[in-house]
Amino acid sequence: MLYLVSTPVGNLKDISLRALEVLKEVDVIACEDTRTSLKLLNHYEIKKPLVSYHKFNEKVAGEKLLAELNSGKNVALITDAGTPVISDPGNVLCKMLVESDVEYTVIPGATAFVPALLLSGMDASKFSFIGFLPEKKKDVEELLASYKALKSTLIFYCAPHDVKKTIEVLYANLGDRKACAVKEITKLHEKTIRFNLKDGYPEETPRGEYVIIVEGGEGEENPNLTLSIKDHIATFVAQGMSNMDAVKQVAKERKLPKSEVYKHSIE
């Protein structure tokens, strides 16, 4: 069995008893960075063979882990922080396991974007987790265009050296919205910074790993709103509505008084 094991995003106490139990019992632990993972493992006096598994060797390392599993060993996969696969290595391995009909399971636990969403105070009933933005401008524009009209809260990951640029890109593609940056989650210097995208990131020197939360859009844009009020009315009349029903519908869509819309119908 392979276990995808969630580990703390900061505070080492944020690990489940089950996660510790699994890490102590497996035969091999695959780590994103063995030096980083050793801090956690040494803290809990866990000594196991470690293998490197990161985004630059996912295919090759995945085949080796698959061989370990086929030989009867139990393997745990952990990342530097949080839950494997969520903006971290693991997707390639999961696909290989499914294709090879090898079972795996998840030991749930910490992941950075959930506490960040709660700290932001924004709508958590519906949200879209996007993670890190692509590197190419064209890819960024295409990605954000597909989320622009969504009413759900948007969640991004960002490295400290990219924070200011990322905020500028979000403003350019999404327009002005309420935003929140949460850094150093569960650590000593955890901080929540609220601002508007048009104002840019307010801190002089960004430090720490960031989760950026942005309020959702206003829903799908109505193409009729690009028309003049007169043409908007004419569109519904052409569809068979009476003049008065068309006025009522246009007033509803434009959030205007019916008397105001009616003037344009007379014209």
Q: What is the pLDDT of residue 220?
A: 61
SS3 of the chain: helix, strand, coil, percent, to 5:
40, 20, 40
- 114 within a domain of the structure (yes/no): no
Cα distance between residue 83 and residue 54, in whole Å? 14
Three-state DSSP class for 26? coil
Last residue of a domain, one of 45, 78, 107: 107
Alpha helices by DSSP H, the chain: 17-25, 34-43, 58-70, 91-99, 113-120, 137-147, 163-174, 229-238, 243-254, 258-266
* Regions in the chain scoring below 50 on pLDDT: none
Q: How many CB atoms lie within 10 A of CB 68?
A: 18
Separation of CA 246 from chain center: 41
Residue 137 domain boundaries? 125-214
Give the pLDDT score at 203. 85
Confirm whether 120 is domain-assigned: no
Assess whether 129 and 74 both reside in one domain.
Answer: no
Domain-ending residue, one of 44, 77, 107: 107
Residue 245, in any domain of the structure: yes
Task: Say which CATH number the domain at 209 has.
Answer: 3.30.950.10
Side-chain half-sphere exposure of 233, counting CA atoms within 13 A: 18
What's the CA gap between 249 and 238, in Å, rounded? 13
Whether 154 and 213 have beta carbons less than 8 Å apart is answered as: yes
- Within a domain: 119: no
Is residue 159 domain-resident?
A: yes
In angstroms, the Cα distances linking 148 to 28, 129, 151, 179 are: 43, 13, 8, 14
Instruction: In whole angstroms, give the CA distance from residue 184 to residue 190.
Output: 5
Domain count, the chain: 3
SS3 164: helix
Question: How does DSSP classify residue 111?
Answer: -
Is the Cβ–Cβ distance between 168 and 176 less than 8 Å?
A: no
Q: What is the pLDDT of residue 231?
A: 87
Q: Are residues 13 and 74 in the same domain?
A: yes
CATH code where residue 52 lies? 3.40.1010.10
**Per-residue exposure over 154-180, b if at least 16 CB sit within 10 Å of its own CB, e if not:** bbbbbeeeebbebbebbbebbeebbbb
In a domain, 61, yes or no: yes
State whether 38 and 82 are in the same domain.
yes
Domain end residue (candidates: 176, 196, 214):
214
